[in-house]
Amino acid sequence: MLSQLLTNPDFYNAAIRLTAPLLLAALGGLICERAGVLNLGLEGMMLTGAFFGYLGSLYTQSVVLGLLIAALSGGALATVHAYFSITIRVNQIVTALGLNMLALGVTSTLFRFIFGTDLKQLQSPGMVPVKLGFLSEIPIIGPIFFSQLPIVYFAIALIVIIHFLLYHSKWGLSIRAAGEHPKALDLAGIDVIKVRYSAVIISGVLAGLGGAAITLGGINTFYDNITAGRGFIAFAAIVFGKWTPVGTALATLLFGMGDALQLRLQAFNIQAIPYQFFLMLPYLITLVALVFMGPSKGPAASGVPYAREQGQSKRKKLIKDKVTEV
């Protein structure tokens, strides 16, 4: 039964599709952590994106606009996180937990406020798989990789893009420096605060898109807490992937496969095992993976707010005129 399942290309196609939301959020969170800010609020940002993406798509009847709104809403929540953790330097974990609860409350409340308690399934326009020409004709690989939702292609491309940005661009160098030794970056003349804000907001945008990839990726609807902890799994994937884009992507794939597996196992309708057990699977994989991961070390300044030292006082104005030698 299991071997039959694991040799079916459909299973792998589903695994990759289910990986995409995690991947988007995890890559965002990765940039954020590399810049020195913990983003445990990925869950809330995903949920916000999932809700507003669905809402936007429904009202504008445009998936593209829906995705855009999802990205903006995730980015907006991330800006709040950035303000708390970078500007007023409060505990980043507490802030993030607060934002997660806020997101859950706001989305559930608005959902009921707009659609009432009568939960008839209003479907929004959603994404459909796009076959990539001849690539989709390749046996096995074609159906698995090249008959996917557009957002899946985007997420995969993002692995390369973020890898390139982090390791081969000036911006990436600043991001990594902000996460390792912000003072060195500051003394080199780069504004640590700006670098960190940019990273946090990007993580929110990507997490928002990740959320929309759930609601607009086939089911095209929303229900309470639809993300169900995927933001936390994405957070764990960053650790499991040792803070690298490729590692993080592979980690999310593991969880995506777990998710695909539990869906299929549920479908087998095995009487002896309650379906809740299968639902538990991705989370169990997360925990077990971290056990095997062993101790790990992230960016040195991750989670540590940056503040300049005291002593800076009012500047003297620069006198441009030539002054005769004293």
CA atoms within 13 A on the CB side of 295: 0
Burial class (CB in 10 A: 0-12, 13-18, 19+), 83: middle
Dihedral, CA atoms, 295, 298, 301, 304, nearest 10 degrees?
-70
Report, in Å, the least distance between residue 188 CB and other proteins: 3
The residue (of 217 and 299) whose beta carbon lies closer to other proteins is: 299
Cα–Cα distance, 45 to 286 (Å, whole number): 20
The residue (of 225 and 296) whose beta carbon lies closer to other proteins is: 296
Return the number of other C-beta atoms located less than 10 Å from residue 285's C-beta.
19
Main-chain phi, psi angles of 138, to 5 degrees: -60, 130
Q: Which of these segments, 35-43, 90-98, 259-267, 313-321, binds other proteins (CB under 8 A)?
A: 313-321
The residue (of 232 and 243) whose beta carbon lies closer to other proteins is: 243
Q: For residue 65, what is the enclosing H or E element?
A: helix 63-82
The residue (of 120 and 322) whose beta carbon lies closer to other proteins is: 322
Residue 322 lies near other proteins (rule: CB under 8 A): yes
Burial class (CB in 10 A: 0-12, 13-18, 19+), 300: exposed
The residue (of 176 and 230) whose beta carbon lies closer to other proteins is: 176
Number of residues that bind other proteins (CB under 8 A): 35
Task: With beta carbons less than 8 A apart as the criterion, state whether 178 and 198 touch.
Answer: no
The residue (of 276 and 324) whose beta carbon lies closer to other proteins is: 324
Q: Fill in the amino acid letter for 9.
A: P
Three-state DSSP at 130 gives strand
Residue 188 lies near other proteins (rule: CB under 8 A): yes
Report, in Å, the least distance between residue 198 CB and other proteins: 13
Site residues (CB under 8 A) for other proteins, limited to 189-228:
189-190
Residue 116 lies near other proteins (rule: CB under 8 A): no
Report, in Å, the least distance between residue 251 CB and other proteins: 20
Site residues (CB under 8 A) for other proteins, limited to 124-183:
168-171, 173-174, 176-177, 180-181, 183
Residues near other proteins (CB under 8 A) are 168-171, 173-174, 176-177, 180-181, 183-190, 300, 309-319, 322-326
